[in-house]
């Protein structure tokens, strides 16, 4: 059985279309895999969802920006949402 990569874990979390913070992703990934990843590493994995390798692997449309980012109200942090571009 293939080991789950960080890209896999981020995709599996974010594919539900809900808003996620780095800290939400950190918590779920740590809980499910037992591995802790820092914010810069999770940020890189979110950016990877824009790359063609991830788009092909996870079935993300090539015709949209799959990552939407918005500021958390009253905070300096951001929330991220994955759009698969599938109707």
Averaged pLDDT, 26-40 = 95
Q: How far is CA 71 from the centre of its chain?
A: 16
Closest CA to 67 of 52, 82, 87: 82
Q: What is the DSSP letter of 62?
A: T
Distant-in-sequence, close-in-space partners of 17: CB < 8 Å, separation ≥ 6: 81, 82, 83, 84
- Looking at residue 3, what is its pLDDT? 84
What domains lie within the chain, and their CATH numbers? 6-81 (1.10.10.10)
Q: What percent of the chain has pLDDT over 90?
A: 90
- Evaluate if residue 80 carries a pLDDT over 70: yes
- Evaluate if residue 86 carries a pLDDT over 80: no
- Looking at residue 87, what is its pLDDT? 54
């Amino acid at each position: 059985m293939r080991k789950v990569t960080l890209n896999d874990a981020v995709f599996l979390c974010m594919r539900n279309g809900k808003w996620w913070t780095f800290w939400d992703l950190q918590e779920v990934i740590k809980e499910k895999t037992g591995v802790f990843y820092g914010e810069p590493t999770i940020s890189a994995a979110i950016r990877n969802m824009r790359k063609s390798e991830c788009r092909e692997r996870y079935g993300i449309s090539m015709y949209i920006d799959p990552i939407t980012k918005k500021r958390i109200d009253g905070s300096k942090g951001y929330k991220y949402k994955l759009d698969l571009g599938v109707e």
